[in-house]
Structure 1
């Protein structure tokens, strides 16, 4: 199949119309993942064995199953038991919860990297366990995590084409719609790849600079 520049130029603006949904899903999913990931990490450190054990089991289950399967279950299976969610909401929750499981491990590693002496110093001045975590440990643990967190958010952005299978009209869904009506796949799919590349490269470059700054 030869490249058709006229068709490509006609398709590009239509596909660009899906960028907004892609960014919205990524933004909201990232916020959910950042907050829920920290919750998972803190619950996994609970002194109550039942809470910590169940949290670790849940995190392992989410990490051990494909995101696509999770999206299918939320969108196609949950309605059978009376839980009906809009496609965009399923996309945000699906991406957010899936990446929260991975970010919880990032938070855990960052927290564990803070020296034990910091905990003991906080306890020595009569801070509660939560106050030590909030005011002493997390401010030291989070900055070194940021490059890794950023990489996961970038990965989430590149996973958004999966949402086309649950009828979220992002870039890939628009491209598939064009392809199925014109029977031309080369131009629409290539344009989607280029849009993702143009949007992700500046973010990847910024993350690399940030990581170098953290290590310097």
Structure 2
């Protein structure tokens, strides 16, 4: 018995059916970690991109330095730092939250470059028109630049969403019971690794295909001239 569910080793099919509900619990954790990590990455990445686009070097240079530091250090080290080091300074988070934050911080550095590329792709005339209309810098960024930049970067952001999903298994090192960790536990207790690992591989393949198709649909649905604002 594992997680309160019985499994049957009498046949491969029966065994696969018996462990499927357990893997679905791990799948739900995987999906939650993916979207929470991606949300953190989108918000923090946008902040870093905005800071790197600032005309003052005293603002842009530290943002570039932070981005390079995050990109050039392994995700596993960042995860261990958040999980083991921060509690020594009184910052204690649950393993799941810590893992999602680590994913979000790591990928925020990559998404900041995606945002920056989209921002720089907006024609300079748009900035000049905004200044001519006496718009503030913040309003220009939120109402003129971003609505035109986002449709251009949706495919790249979708690629990083899939990458985050495939990096979620690394959270198992801090005891997060995501799908691959659950499959490993099943293998350890039943001495049958082939079926649970094969099932996890198949589920990841389906998830990747669905996510990629969703990104393509969103990319085709967004107006290429920019998002409409009321």
Q: TM-score, normalised by structure 2?
A: 0.86
Hey, what's the Cα distance between the residues in 2 that align with 1:81 and 1:135?
40
Judge conservation of contact 2:151–2:219 (CA < 8 Å) in 1. Answer: no
Hey, what's the Cα distance between the residues in 1 that align with 2:180 and 2:45?
27
Question: Which of 146, 154, 166 is residue 158 of structure 1 equivalent to?
Answer: 166
What residue is the counterpart of 2:181 in the other structure? 173
Asked if 1:105 is matched to 2:107, the reply is no
Larger deviation, residues 46-55 vs 24-33: 46-55
Summarize the alignment of residues 1-216 of structure 1 with structure 2, pairs less than 5 Å apart.
4-211=12-219
Hey, what's the Cα distance between the residues in 1 that align with 2:87 and 2:138?
39
Task: Give structure 2 stretches of 5+ with no counterpart.
Answer: 1-10, 225-230
| 2:55 counterpart SS class | coil
More relative contact order, 1 or 2 (CA 8 Å, 6+ apart): 1
Deviation at 1:5, TM superposition (A): 2.9
> Would you say how many aligned residue pairs link Structure 1 and Structure 2?
213
Deviation at 1:212, TM superposition (A): 6.0
Deviation at 1:51, TM superposition (A): 2.1
Deviation at 1:12, TM superposition (A): 2.0
| 2:92 counterpart SS class | coil
| 2:189 counterpart SS class | helix
Judge conservation of contact 2:52–2:60 (CA < 8 Å) in 1. Answer: yes
| 2:16 counterpart SS class | helix
| Structure with the higher helix share, 1 or 2 | 1
Cα distance per residue 1:112-160 (max 9 Å; x no partner): 0011111111111111222211111111111111111111112111111
Larger deviation, residues 65-74 vs 77-86: 77-86
Deviation at 1:187, TM superposition (A): 1.2
Larger deviation, residues 107-116 vs 180-189: 180-189
Q: TM-score, normalised by structure 1?
A: 0.91
Deviation at 1:43, TM superposition (A): 0.9
Deviation at 1:204, TM superposition (A): 1.2
Instruction: Tell me how large the CA RMSD over aligned residues is.
Output: 1.9
